Structure 1
């Protein structure tokens, strides 16, 4: 019955444009040629691809401080982006249920910034260094074709900064918000002959909505290009991110949420929990047409990321000689390269595009652990408890082809082979702490294919299928489920089989509609086995399924009004029963999670709706955001209630020749509703909940300018 309802829903949503099918023309009209970077197609528009792909334009019109990527990702179906009100932890991102269980950073979703991977070879990534001040657009790819990006590709999120362009132009923006939050951003871009540049930076400070949550962030981004003979281009991208001593208020129990959602957990103050992160990276991209439809693209990148984090680990837990302490000192050096060849031409007299290439990525990690106390002083660096050097390498080969084999039919197919190797060398070996060195290697081949049908110029139907995989990260390999010494090299990668059926419609007036049914069946799903002494260990728990329905619609209502809607229904559940530990200090899993239990961190329903108005220089919008309840642990015994929030924004723009001044105001949580904005899945102390903020006002000014055209 559920599948029948979903099938009827997608058929109904696409029925409106069906009358336009009338017509005898047997040739498909060529649409606007827009490069689809996420699918690695050079000359095929997103509208023609058999995949769910959303593009968010970052044009400076959003009433946002330009700090949290979650502000810009509202309205993307299938994507749940949670601002945690905790800048010691990264934004939570999940796509169609993939990545929902991540307690820190982003895992299960592939991230890129200007084509440079923001996800490490082990599958762990972060969006904190995404430079929003100079961003031009964000692409979000969902469904089977995500697998063409390799390990941990339950979905793909890419941010692109603007290129240098003529005339020279720039902007400055300042905003003030609740809790003494201040943000200042600026950008400058232009060209000088064959040379182009785009520079951007942002400074953000806040006292934090919750106690013990103050933070400061700095980001700089530079994108330079040089045009080469034969329409080639060389791009250099470099960025810097620094967030020193961001306070961590930790999660709350449900009783604490009801008592005072703005409080920090007592041990957060006691141990002065905090995190410092600094990252520098650079990447070089060369693109060169070779003639006769051939082209090459080469990319190389390198970077460093340093983390220091103070945890609230009790001193008693560190009496265990195998415990690695309550202070993490982590140095990451990483880099890689990608080389691909593409050819555009004809096969059997029909349009054809072929791409083949390979890439490797490397991660070198020096992980130190220290006690978080010295004598009776807490929250300070103490004795050394861990010293290991980890390395992860992957080497992948891939190929894909797109072919319009009939006037109204096209095929996109690809395959990727990935090999990922983990190795650890333990330098902290004592009489009571044995050598934890070891290595493991995973390999997987992931094919994917999609068929698209074009009944007329404005309507597409598609069906796609593929396979993806997700290895454990080094954090998940770090501790064995049986409590023994060494890393959990018995963990297997989770392998998924993905299927999607969808449709896309648009018209010349700017209206659009996209809908998709999807299913992903996973074997060897990874989940928490136990939490002991402040450390989580993981195990493979059998089969899981994520299936659902997505809808995105945009509807102009006359010249001044527009309505946008995004809706997601997701059923994500474990299909096999498995045992877990639930009591504090448990080492023998005895409580069984029943088959059919919902995967924690996932919401069954999600809705984003926006009614916008524009007249001359005036703009206003009313938004509604709804998220269903979310379970927070594997047994499903605790959950965060669902909520609906309203937001209102207003803006006025004044133009002075080639300059403009834009003032904006935004009120979030208009009705001051109490709610839980994000959750910490399977938190060992029952502190699952991170409350969302009450009603808040954001005020900002943005000045944009462009040089006068040369005579």
Structure 2
């Protein structure tokens, strides 16, 4: 067995957390520590959730370098957001037992409305973060694990609950940001830059409150991929080329990098309105409408130069590249540009009411539509023909209704929650050849068609019972019925395939026992079983392009998650320390991963296990003027059974690192100046199921990284603040298959009224 090693900075984080003990003598008498101190306005998913939890507020986020909304949670314990550049639409969540390829193992809500895109389970299906402006956030709560019957099995990783501010008077907020990233890698030497303008505000007239948000983002990213020439297996002859780079791929093989691809320029516009009416102090009806537009252009850059110094976009036949006696070819489609356009709309309705002293009602209904979703791709940089792919009509709807009963106003120690849930997802994808790739009107033959629907109905019951002064037992069960229908896959190579309707069901028991061991310390053990049913694209999305292949499986089984958590939480110095031991065993684990050959496969893995420990420390005033949030997580993951790929048995689960650590320190020098230092560490991990990608610190690998961020803010007038920050201060080059940003400079001006 290998000896565990903790990085020096991780030791420093633990030591800094423990240093709060030195201040304990200055504290007043110990306070009673409950399982979770909450505001009355928070939903029961937070209040009655027996999971480990963490929180960040909008005020705390203002001290960080926040451009996109997902930046708000980047220092939360165990979380890693796969955000590759500013404006990335594929920012999915990794938690303590999940990696950055399992988007369907997490949930994101805003004001009770689901923002998670559960159409798929890969990098292509992130939460719709854009529909929340970072300026309008009040609090963000993170729940770890599937220990509540109120949430579906997608909560196995993490559940993020965002709450936006409710205006009590007239208020307005505006922020202008600029950012710049000098970027160098292989033959690319460029500056990725952009700007963002956001305004939010609201007012109240009697019982009616109105909240508004508008955002405009114009961002250019660094290359997301680098083109590698293909080894030739036949033919003869070569031509002298320059500009390419020879290095090792993550598995140690020789490769020839010939250019940069997927260099994105995105323009995004968001508008949102939220109307809420208070019929009584604890009875509110709220309507939300949000619309998000994205227009994106992806270009490519060839490094190849021919003998005359001219840029070359292909090397085929007798013009192949010769490297160490091996011939390599490059297809013209490698450097083909593309453009995408999407329009996303969210309609949401929530109604919460205290019906009586004993009963409370919470409900949420949402509809998410994509009336426009197109991707146009050229056949090559020099040809006008190409393809047009359309996903118009894809979307989902959700409905949740729950009743909360506290007999005799809670005096008997019970809080019973009963609920109903419904969701339905529709995937509609068509791809055509086109005479002119820039025009949808020029589309000709249909080459690919993927269509399907899934839906889930659930009923659940949970009782939080305080059966003794220091003991609370939470027991629940969730019963789900899942259905997949109208599955259809057409490809020009395979022809038409239609699939039968399927039904599956699952029963998920939950149990948690909390013991208030001392006035300052609480100990809680939790167990939960959960089902994560296949998404519609895992079942019915099969497609081959010039560069990628997606392979679905209409017979996928639902994964079954068995999770355990033992948590101790209590006061330490001027802060709160939480220590958790966790284990997750997954049968028929659903994985959608992309290998180095850019083939995405959806499959069941027979049995996985992740065991680990997490420590988190939060101290609003660990020293005078200094706020500290620190965490460290260790996870030992293993594939226990996999009959589809025996070589993976005994190996690490892909994209689950052994160590994670984070640190956020905010220091208030005086009433005008505030400084921030942030730190993120991620340890060893693999992208290949057989763990053959040992050379991970290169493009295509999943590297260890250690990054620092900093920001200084100056309040130069009432309600007016300027800030300057740097992300990745040491200019670390690191990868999650794709390259992450290098050193990035931020500047902003904020006005609050």
Q: Secondary structure of 1:59's match?
A: helix
Which 5+ residue runs of structure 1 have no aligned equivalent? Answer: 253-264, 316-323, 581-591, 680-689, 706-711
2:414 aligned with 1:355, yes or no? Answer: no
Go from structure 1 to structure 2 and tell me whether the alpha carbon gap of 1:64 and 1:610 turns closer, same or farther (over 3 Å shift). closer
8 Å Cα contact 1:121-1:151 kept in structure 2: no
2:613 aligned with 1:549, yes or no? Answer: yes
How far off its partner does 1:79 sit?
Answer: 1.3
How far off its partner does 1:530 sit?
Answer: 9.2
8 Å Cα contact 1:175-1:700 kept in structure 2: yes
How far off its partner does 1:82 sit?
Answer: 2.1
Alignment of 1:556-635 (within 5 A): 556-580=621-645, 592-614=646-668, 615-635=670-690
Measure, in 1, the Cα distance between the counterparts of 2:394 and 2:537.
13
Measure, in 2, the Cα distance between the counterparts of 1:98 and 1:664.
34
What residue in structure 2 maps to residue 320 of structure 1?
none
2:24 aligned with 1:40, yes or no? Answer: no
Deviations 1:564-584 (A, max 9, x none): 21111112221124445xxxx
Alignment of 1:221-620 (within 5 A): 221-229=272-280, 231-247=282-298, 270-305=335-370, 306-310=372-376, 327-345=389-407, 350-371=412-433, 382-426=444-488, 433-478=495-540, 488-506=553-571, 510-527=574-591, 536-555=600-619, 556-580=621-645, 592-614=646-668, 615-620=670-675
8 Å Cα contact 2:648-2:691 kept in structure 1: no
Measure, in 2, the Cα distance between the counterparts of 1:52 and 1:293.
27
Deviations 1:605-635 (A, max 9, x none): 1111233210221111222221113311211
Q: Which moved more, 1:373-382 or 1:177-186?
A: 373-382
What residue in structure 2 maps to residue 198 of structure 1?
211
What residue in structure 2 maps to residue 672 of structure 1?
731
Measure, in 2, the Cα distance between the counterparts of 1:573 and 1:325.
41
What residue in structure 2 maps to residue 74 of structure 1?
74
How far off its partner does 1:493 sit?
Answer: 0.9
8 Å Cα contact 1:65-1:175 kept in structure 2: no
2:696 aligned with 1:637, yes or no? Answer: no
Q: Secondary structure of 1:384's match?
A: strand
Measure, in 1, the Cα distance between the counterparts of 2:141 and 2:464.
20
2:720 aligned with 1:661, yes or no? Answer: yes
Go from structure 1 to structure 2 and tell me whether the alpha carbon gap of 1:365 and 1:4 turns closer, same or farther (over 3 Å shift). closer
Measure, in 1, the Cα distance between the counterparts of 2:379 and 2:501.
28
Alignment of 1:80-119 (within 5 A): 80-85=80-85, 87=87, 89-98=89-98, 100-102=100-102, 106-119=103-116
Deviations 1:441-464 (A, max 9, x none): 221111111111112333211100
Measure, in 2, the Cα distance between the counterparts of 1:576 and 1:431.
33
Q: Which moved more, 1:346-355 or 1:619-628?
A: 346-355
How far off its partner does 1:196 sit?
Answer: 0.6
Go from structure 1 to structure 2 and tell me whether the alpha carbon gap of 1:343 and 1:74 turns closer, same or farther (over 3 Å shift). same
How far off its partner does 1:487 sit?
Answer: 6.7
How far off its partner does 1:642 sit?
Answer: 0.9
Measure, in 1, the Cα distance between the counterparts of 2:493 and 2:630.
62
How far off its partner does 1:59 sit?
Answer: 2.3
Q: Secondary structure of 1:635's match?
A: coil
Which 5+ residue runs of structure 2 have no aligned equivalent? Answer: 181-191, 224-259, 304-329, 544-549, 697-701
Q: Secondary structure of 1:476's match?
A: helix
Q: Which moved more, 1:529-538 or 1:152-161?
A: 529-538
8 Å Cα contact 1:354-1:400 kept in structure 2: yes
How far off its partner does 1:171 sit?
Answer: 0.7
Go from structure 1 to structure 2 and tell me whether the alpha carbon gap of 1:26 and 1:663 turns closer, same or farther (over 3 Å shift). closer
Q: Which moved more, 1:216-225 or 1:142-151?
A: 142-151
Q: Secondary structure of 1:149's match?
A: coil
8 Å Cα contact 1:63-1:666 kept in structure 2: no
Q: Secondary structure of 1:342's match?
A: strand
Deviations 1:470-508 (A, max 9, x none): 222222212689xxx99733211110110000111136x
How far off its partner does 1:307 sit?
Answer: 2.7
What residue in structure 2 maps to residue 684 of structure 1?
none
Go from structure 1 to structure 2 and tell me whether the alpha carbon gap of 1:333 and 1:378 turns closer, same or farther (over 3 Å shift). closer
Q: Secondary structure of 2:147's match?
A: helix
How far off its partner does 1:229 sit?
Answer: 3.9
Go from structure 1 to structure 2 and tell me whether the alpha carbon gap of 1:562 and 1:605 turns closer, same or farther (over 3 Å shift). same
Go from structure 1 to structure 2 and tell me whether the alpha carbon gap of 1:418 and 1:311 turns closer, same or farther (over 3 Å shift). farther
How far off its partner does 1:233 sit?
Answer: 0.8
Go from structure 1 to structure 2 and tell me whether the alpha carbon gap of 1:233 and 1:249 turns closer, same or farther (over 3 Å shift). farther
Measure, in 1, the Cα distance between the counterparts of 2:43 and 2:18.
25
From 163, 166, 177, the equivalent of 1:164 is 166
What residue in structure 1 maps to residue 234 of structure 2?
none
How far off its partner does 1:241 sit?
Answer: 0.9
Deviations 1:494-531 (A, max 9, x none): 10110000111136x74111111100001112346998
Measure, in 1, the Cα distance between the counterparts of 2:562 and 2:34.
34
Deviations 1:32-68 (A, max 9, x none): 55359575365x6xxxx64211111112752556442
8 Å Cα contact 2:213-2:272 kept in structure 1: yes
Q: Which moved more, 1:523-532 or 1:450-459?
A: 523-532
Measure, in 1, the Cα distance between the counterparts of 2:379 and 2:606.
31
What residue in structure 2 maps to residue 587 of structure 1?
none
How far off its partner does 1:427 sit?
Answer: 8.8
8 Å Cα contact 1:94-1:100 kept in structure 2: yes
2:302 aligned with 1:219, yes or no? Answer: no
What residue in structure 1 maps to residue 254 of structure 2?
none
Deviations 1:148-207 (A, max 9, x none): 411422234334343432221111100111033101111112211010111112111112
How far off its partner does 1:314 sit?
Answer: 9.9
Q: Secondary structure of 1:699's match?
A: strand
Task: Give the root-mean-square deviation of aligned CA atoms.
Answer: 4.1
Q: Which moved more, 1:471-480 or 1:543-552?
A: 471-480
2:194 aligned with 1:181, yes or no? Answer: yes
Deviations 1:654-679 (A, max 9, x none): 343xxx11111101121222222x23
Deviations 1:322-343 (A, max 9, x none): xx98835342142232221111
Q: TM-score w.r.t. structure 1 length?
A: 0.80
8 Å Cα contact 1:213-1:247 kept in structure 2: yes
Measure, in 2, the Cα distance between the counterparts of 1:622 and 1:538.
40
Deviations 1:214-236 (A, max 9, x none): 11111122221101147311111
Q: Which moved more, 1:33-42 or 1:157-166?
A: 33-42
Go from structure 1 to structure 2 and tell me whether the alpha carbon gap of 1:674 and 1:14 turns closer, same or farther (over 3 Å shift). closer
8 Å Cα contact 1:325-1:385 kept in structure 2: no
Measure, in 2, the Cα distance between the counterparts of 1:375 and 1:202.
30
Measure, in 1, the Cα distance between the counterparts of 2:633 and 2:2.
15
How far off its partner does 1:431 sit?
Answer: 11
Go from structure 1 to structure 2 and tell me whether the alpha carbon gap of 1:38 and 1:446 turns closer, same or farther (over 3 Å shift). farther
What residue in structure 1 maps to residue 320 of structure 2?
none
2:697 aligned with 1:697, yes or no? Answer: no
How far off its partner does 1:95 sit?
Answer: 1.5
Go from structure 1 to structure 2 and tell me whether the alpha carbon gap of 1:149 and 1:312 turns closer, same or farther (over 3 Å shift). farther
What residue in structure 2 maps to residue 588 of structure 1?
none
8 Å Cα contact 1:497-1:521 kept in structure 2: yes
Q: Number of matched residues? A: 642
